[in-house]
Structure 1
Amino acid sequence: MPNLVVEIHVPMTPSPDVAGDEDPFFWIDDVEDRLAELEEDEELEVFDDGEEVDEEYVFFVTGAPRDRLLRAASDIALGVGMPTGVYAVLSTDDADEIGVGERVDLPVR
């Protein structure tokens, strides 16, 4: 039976709050650090490395119940400097494509 994977889709929008020589996509490292912390605390598992897909950066989490994964995705969406329009896709670990599944707008209330 396939395992649930939550894809966290973040628009590749540069942060307007950075100076010209700073990384306008600093939030990628921030999200990776936060997911690593959650993984170390055994709250979830990072399923795969994040990757740029079309006009979005996608992070992948698994290893916890749906509600916990969506709560983590919501926390990511509310992070400092995050672009607007972050959403999740409920997928499985045997999916052939990224972005195919139930779409969930973030943050979940």
Structure 2
Amino acid sequence: MRGMVYLLIATIGEVVGTTALKASNGFSNLFPSIIVIISYSFSFYLLAQSLKTIPLGIGYAVWSGIGTAMTILIGVLVWKESLSLAGVLGVLLIFSGVLILNLKGTVAG
């Protein structure tokens, strides 16, 4: 359970870092650039901690999949980026994939 909590917090850190990456304007704005470095460091640390108890495939699927979907939503809501029907379908597929991996509990391999 602790691993999943770490993973979800790591995902939030990754989303904060990615959002700040956009605001950093190619690392030309100091404050958002500092947030990027801190957020990604925090996110990778917690991701590594979560992988002590969560299989790699599931951990990475949750971290990257939910992070991608949340980042797309922030892009639409904060940065006023457009989202096509294909984009909406893609986000739904990401959520479906993460859900299926978590319901199964393991990654075949």
TM norm. shorter chain > 0.5: no
Structure holding more strand per residue: 1
TM (norm. structure 2) is: 0.30
TM (norm. structure 1) is: 0.30
Structure showing greater radius of gyration is 2
